[in-house]
Amino acid sequence: MTELLKNKVALITGGNSGIGKAISIRAAIEGAKVVIGARDETTGNETVNYILGKGGEASFFKADMSDPKQIDSLFEQTIKKYGEVDLACNNAATGAPTVPIHEIDSDIWNHMMSVNLTAPFLCMKHEIQHMLSKGGGSIVNMSSANGLIGTRGFTTYTANKHGLNGLTKSAALDYADQGIRINAVCPGGVETPMFNQLYGRHSEAWKKARDFHPIKRFGTPESIAGLVTFLWSDASSYVTGSCLSIDGGLTAQ
């Protein structure tokens, strides 16, 4: 354990798997008390147990991000147990249907909007309220390269993530002089178990996606966690309102 985030309470939505899991583990390594809010109890508890086994502090509270009541409950339980939220990563998201816009079912659009954009908004309402009462905090929204550029077949997801970047920028301006920093992280392709399952590791589609990154490799969940940790730490004290690319050069081309 290190002391970069010592004694801070860090809430990570979707902190049970993939990028979120790496963020939860890294936060614990840096000394934070970790709160994982997610739907899946099995992987949520697994991640908590992993952290506890390494001597860290973590809790899992079940919450489906498409249900505002469950988001309220996540924060109630967090405050009840830890009394505060110093750091937050609004990371939970749902994937993209790879169909063009005229084939997208409006129910799917509404569900994706609720999980990928409304939920971060609702989480930020809670987080900011607690951070204001404590005099500060740092929020990182998990956006995507699709928050900066478009991709064929990813219309809904792209709209969600552009929205999240907009939310990040305006909210950052609202609270910049009140000690709360708010940034977004915009990853390119990251090799999570889900990602490899979706593409099939080393398939032609997987290789094509990889080689679309000028660095000719995917990111790791741990490297995304590294940027989130930096943005949470005091080392980034003058960084707010930024939507930071972490994409192996994807959006530089």
Residues that bind another protein (CB under 8 A): 168-170, 172-173, 176-177, 187-188, 190, 213-216, 219-220, 223-224, 226-227, 229-230, 235-242, 244-253
Residue closer to another protein (CB basis): 74 or 190: 190
Q: What's the length of the chain?
A: 253
Closest CA to 184 of 228, 149, 121: 228
Compute the least distance from the CB of residue 39 to another protein, in Å: 27
Q: How far is CA 43 from the centre of its chain?
A: 17
Compute the least distance from the CB of residue 219 to another protein, in Å: 4
Cα pseudo-dihedral 204, 155, 96, 227, rounded to 10: 90
The verdict on whether 157 is a catalytic residue reads yes
Q: How far apart are CA 178 and CA 136, in angstroms?
A: 7
54: helix, strand or coil: coil
- Measured at the CA of 249, the angle between CA 246 and CA 253, to 5 degrees, comes to 135
Terminal alpha carbon distance of the chain? 39
Residue closer to another protein (CB basis): 11 or 184: 184
Compute the least distance from the CB of residue 126 to another protein, in Å: 22
173: helix, strand or coil: helix
Compute the least distance from the CB of residue 250 to another protein, in Å: 8
Residue closer to another protein (CB basis): 92 or 145: 145
- Residue linked to tokens 């840096």: 30
> Pick the catalytic residue: 50, 82, 157, 199?
157
Residue closer to another protein (CB basis): 30 or 127: 30
Residues assigned a catalytic role: 157
